[in-house]
Amino acid sequence: MRVYITTPIYYVNDEPHIGHCYTTILADVISRYYRLFGYEVRMQTGTDEHGQKVQQSAAKRGLSPQAQCDEYSKRFEAMWEKLEIHPDHHFIRTTAEFHKKAVQEFLRRLEKAKTPEGRDAIYEADYSGWYNVSEEMFISEDDVTEEGKSSGRIVHLTEKNHFFRLSDYGEWLKTYIQDHPAFIQPTGRRNEVLGLIDQGLSDLCISRPKSRLSWGIEIPFAPDYVTYVWVDALVNYLSGIGWPEDPDWEKWWGSGVEVLHLIGKDILKPHGVFWPCLLHAAGVPLPTTLLAHGWWTRGGQKESKTVTQALAAQLPVRHIRELIEEYGVDPIRYYLMREMTLGNDQDYSEELIVARINSDLANDLGNLLNRVTTLVRNHFEGKAPAPGTPDSGGEELLASVKACVEEIAPSEAGWGDPRTKVESIRGCVRMANQYVTDREPWKLLKEGKSAEAGQCLAAALWSLRVLAVLLHPILPRKMEALLAQIGCPAKKDDVVWDGRFDLPAPGTLIPGGEPLFPRIDWKAVEAKLAQSSKETRKEVEVPRMELISIEDFKKTDLRVAQVLAAERVPKADKLLKLQIRIGSEERQIIAGVAEFYAPEEIVGKQIIVVANLAPAKIRGIESRGMLLAAREGDRLRLLTLDGDGVGDGAKVG
Ligand code: ME8
């Protein structure tokens, strides 16, 4: 069986941070596990180099877009090399000629395609609306902010464009997702995509006039236009394997191949909605699985360039570059795989990284290796002892290790969650340590029971070898070092599971060596960090605010209200229509909270509203009042009442 695993291709306007590193390490780890168990694997990552953002950031720096791409693309490649991403991986750049040709062929096919409703999949139309330059998309009226307009990030545009008739594909996509339960994982994300379809899909603008944006791939049937960057980017998954010219592409796509797209949850819509519909229209089979993981957050905020800059001075957490320097590549790979449950968000802290290294790697695994090799060196002339007939503890250990191999191996249902896999390996490491502790081979040796001591150490050595092989995909350099210390050296990046539970063979030289995972003194690291942050700490700027008098404030009539009913506003992803009660009065308000609260979650809540706000029409629907909520980055929480609350209509202030 063959497996093709991809990561998103990253924008070339940011240097790789922990989020990018996580997805790429995850792809590498899953690839390595498949390889370990004999699958033929191809892994692809790369950079997304076209579009307005790149054109603009290059212009700001006085560089040509190509120069900007070359520079940033190299940073990603260098990071992957540093992070021990398998040397066989494929790195794609969307400025490569073969990719441009593939995108043009893909567009030609779309142009000829008919939708499931029998209409042309591509059509031309005027489009007029607000456009978010940094996100490269037209946005709704609700998302227009004064700050956006004045900074030039949000502009009003009217232009003729080419559209993909996505709205005709909703029913087809829904049926496909329902018939293929494994297509979008985890289930929460699958439901999210089904929810998007239920809200109704809008057609997708797939072109940008060259007069506004020159940095893109020309549309073959409309030479005055370049391709929308998302269509360009998604096609990388096909162009990278030689589609359409190299017939070999089918080796990596279609029946008999597991095609796994790994993405973060931020790009679920393009992958879960646009991509399957585009592929269907172009007559290309769909990938097997789309796996959307959660975000790494710092202090509760999604890790990103801005967060890094804003929090660097306040939190004792460093950039991944510095973490690697301090703790080494393998322990950081281990921490990332061990800590995050696929699908959930995960806050990271340097203290926890150190705690995990100390407990899992130094105390458990390192200690087992050290105890066993020291006893073998001192009492068995440094040679693997004969296993004899294992006692019941030894048998139990070997049975658990065998079961662990089964658990780690990929199955029909895919490979699974690294956190769970690591958990099961850790269980065996702890069990092996416990076995040695209980059997006390040092005591047996003192009593002259050398065969029994040898039998215990052989069982521990055999277990260690299997566990090192099983951990190799996550900790490749460290596990190669471990295998060398127990007389089973492996070639760099070339470890496969051989099905053997009886190595090292008796008599094999067990050279031992330096501790693989020295314990880290967190207090010392913390003191070092505190010292350097003292030196570099900048004043945190408090935004200047205009002051108001109590009289001004009193003009705002804030009231407690009860939410009686809530429903989504059709074709407005962000809006909920709420029926609320303020004392004896019932009224309707429109609130931009639909991305954060489902209608059923909000019904029954007591909220705070501005009751004397002049009525307004939002999307043609009357709104009488405004609810209060706190927003920070990508999070939003409603203001509600503490304890049992008070009656509806109560005044707030
Ligand atoms: O979206 N936590 O590129 P991008 C976890 N070019 N993962 C994170 C993360 C975080 N805090 N931040 C980023 C693009 N990621 C497009 C993709 S694909 C055809 C085009 C990871 O540079 C995660 O995988 O913004 C996320 O989906 C991706 O980086 C976004 O990278």
For residue 313, pLDDT over 70 is answered with no
Answer whether 162's CB lies under 8 Å from 210's CB.
no
- Model confidence over 316-328: pLDDT tens digits? 467 899 999 999 9
Q: Is residue 300 part of a domain?
A: no
- Model confidence over 396-412: pLDDT tens digits? 999 999 999 999 999 88
Dihedral angle sign, alpha carbons of residues 625, 630, 631, 637: negative
Percent of the chain's residues with pLDDT above 90: 73
* Better-scored residue on pLDDT, 210 or 600: 210
Check pocket membership of 233 for ligand 1, CB cut-off 6 A.
yes
What dihedral angle (degrees, nearest 10) is formed by the CA atoms of 142, 143, 146, 152? -140
Q: Is residue 322 part of a domain?
A: no
Residue finishing a domain among 526, 542, 558: 542
Question: Which letter does DSSP use for residue 555 in this model?
Answer: T
Question: How many other C-beta atoms lie within 10 A of the C-beta of residue 443?
Answer: 10
- Model confidence over 424-433: pLDDT tens digits? 999 999 999 9
Same domain, yes or no: 453 and 589: no
Atom of ligand 1 at shortest range from CA of 303: 11
Instruction: Give 536's pLDDT tier (boundaries 50, 70, 90).
Output: low
Same domain, yes or no: 366 and 448: yes
Same domain, yes or no: 556 and 528: no
Same domain, yes or no: 191 and 126: yes
Per residue, what are the HEC states of 288-332? Answer: CEEEEECCEEECCEECCHHHHHHHCCCCCCCCHHHHHHHHCHHHH
- Provide the CATH number for the domain around residue 375: 1.10.730.10
**Structure tokens belonging to residue 107:** 């567009």
Ligand 1 centroid, distance to 306 Cα (angstroms): 14
Answer whether 618's CB lies under 8 Å from 608's CB.
no
Check pocket membership of 19 for ligand 1, CB cut-off 6 A.
yes
Could you write out the DSSP letters of every residue in 601-644?
A: HHTT-EEEEETTSPPEEETTEEE-SEE-EEEETTEEEE---STT
Instruction: Determine how β-strand 558-568 pairs with β-strand 576-582.
Output: antiparallel
Answer whether 469's CB lies under 8 Å from 484's CB.
no
- Model confidence over 509-531: pLDDT tens digits? 999 999 999 999 999 999 998 88
Check pocket membership of 290 for ligand 1, CB cut-off 6 A.
no
Residue finishing a domain among 260, 293, 326: 293
Burial 205-233 (b: 16+ CB within 10 A, else e): bbbbebeebebbbbbeebeebbbbbbbbb
Same domain, yes or no: 261 and 368: no
Q: What is the mean pLDDT of the chain?
A: 92
Residue finishing a domain among 542, 567, 585: 542
Q: Is residue 333 part of a domain?
A: no
Instruction: Give 300's pLDDT tier (boundaries 50, 70, 90).
Output: low
Question: Which letter does DSSP use for residue 220 in this model?
Answer: T
pLDDT value, residue 306:
57
- Provide the CATH number for the domain around residue 608: 2.40.50.140
Q: Number of structural domains, the chain?
A: 3
Same domain, yes or no: 555 and 527: no
pLDDT value, residue 59:
87
Q: Average pLDDT in the 206-223 region?
A: 94
For residue 476, pLDDT over 70 is answered with yes
Ligand 1 centroid, distance to 307 Cα (angstroms): 15
Q: Average pLDDT in the 209-238 region?
A: 95
Answer whether 476's CB lies under 8 Å from 32's CB.
yes
* Better-scored residue on pLDDT, 56 or 303: 56
Instruction: Give 151's pLDDT tier (boundaries 50, 70, 90).
Output: confident
Name the percent of the chain in helix, strand, coil, to the closest 5: 45, 20, 35
Question: Which letter does DSSP use for residue 349 in this model?
Answer: -
- Model confidence over 552-585: pLDDT tens digits? 888 899 999 999 999 998 888 889 999 999 988 8
Same domain, yes or no: 169 and 311: no
pLDDT value, residue 316:
46
Residue 598 makes CB contacts below 8 A (sequence gap 6+) with none
Q: Average pLDDT in the 100-108 region?
A: 98
- Provide the CATH number for the domain around residue 251: 3.40.50.620
Based on its alpha-carbon atoms, the radius of gyration of the chain, rounded to whole angstroms, reads: 29
Same domain, yes or no: 102 and 226: yes
Answer whether 49's CB lies under 8 Å from 93's CB.
yes
Same domain, yes or no: 263 and 132: yes
For residue 310, pLDDT over 60 is answered with no
Nearest CA to 25 out of 524, 476, 559, 484 is that of 476
Q: Average pLDDT in the 312-341 region?
A: 85
pLDDT value, residue 543:
47
For residue 393, pLDDT over 80 is answered with yes
Check pocket membership of 621 for ligand 1, CB cut-off 6 A.
no
Answer whether 104's CB lies under 8 Å from 218's CB.
yes
How far apart CA 366 and CA 588 sit, in angstroms, is 63
CA 26 to the chain's CA centroid: 8
Beta strands per DSSP E along 90-213:
90-93, 122-132, 137-139, 154-164, 184-185, 204-205, 207-209
| HSE toward the beta carbon, residue 344, CA cutoff 13 A | 12
Check pocket membership of 120 for ligand 1, CB cut-off 6 A.
no
Ligand 1 centroid, distance to 460 Cα (angstroms): 42
Check pocket membership of 230 for ligand 1, CB cut-off 6 A.
no
pLDDT value, residue 315:
44
pLDDT value, residue 503:
98
Q: Is residue 326 part of a domain?
A: no
Q: Is residue 331 part of a domain?
A: no
Q: Is residue 133 part of a domain?
A: yes
User: End-to-end alpha-carbon separation of the chain, Å?
Assistant: 66
Q: Ligand 1 pocket test: which of 5, 7, 10, 229 has the largest number of ligand atoms within 8 Å of its C-beta? A: 10
Q: Average pLDDT in the 100-107 region?
A: 98
Check pocket membership of 99 for ligand 1, CB cut-off 6 A.
no
Answer whether 511's CB lies under 8 Å from 483's CB.
no
Residue labelled with tokens 């281990």 = 334
Atom of ligand 1 at shortest range from CA of 266: 27
Instruction: Determine how β-strand 616-618 pairs with β-strand 621-623.
Output: antiparallel
Q: Name the phi and psi angles at 289, rounded to 5.
A: -140, 140
Angle between helix 450-471 and 418-439 (nearest 10): 170
Same domain, yes or no: 382 and 280: no
Residue ranges making up the domain that contains 454 = 305-316+340-542
For residue 314, pLDDT over 50 is answered with no
Q: Is residue 93 part of a domain?
A: yes
Q: What's the pTM value of the predicted model, to 2 decimals?
A: 0.81
Same domain, yes or no: 520 and 568: no
Check pocket membership of 76 for ligand 1, CB cut-off 6 A.
no
pLDDT value, residue 304:
64
For residue 603, pLDDT over 80 is answered with yes
Q: Average pLDDT in the 378-386 region?
A: 98
Percent of the chain's residues with pLDDT above 70: 94
For residue 133, pLDDT over 80 is answered with no
How far apart CA 362 and CA 418 sit, in angstroms, is 20
Check pocket membership of 103 for ligand 1, CB cut-off 6 A.
no
For residue 545, pLDDT over 70 is answered with no
Q: Ligand 1 pocket test: which of 6, 22, 278, 342 has the largest number of ligand atoms within 8 Å of its C-beta? A: 22
Same domain, yes or no: 260 and 185: yes
Q: Is residue 61 part of a domain?
A: yes
Residue type, 101: K
How far apart CA 550 and CA 388 sit, in angstroms, is 87
pLDDT value, residue 247:
94
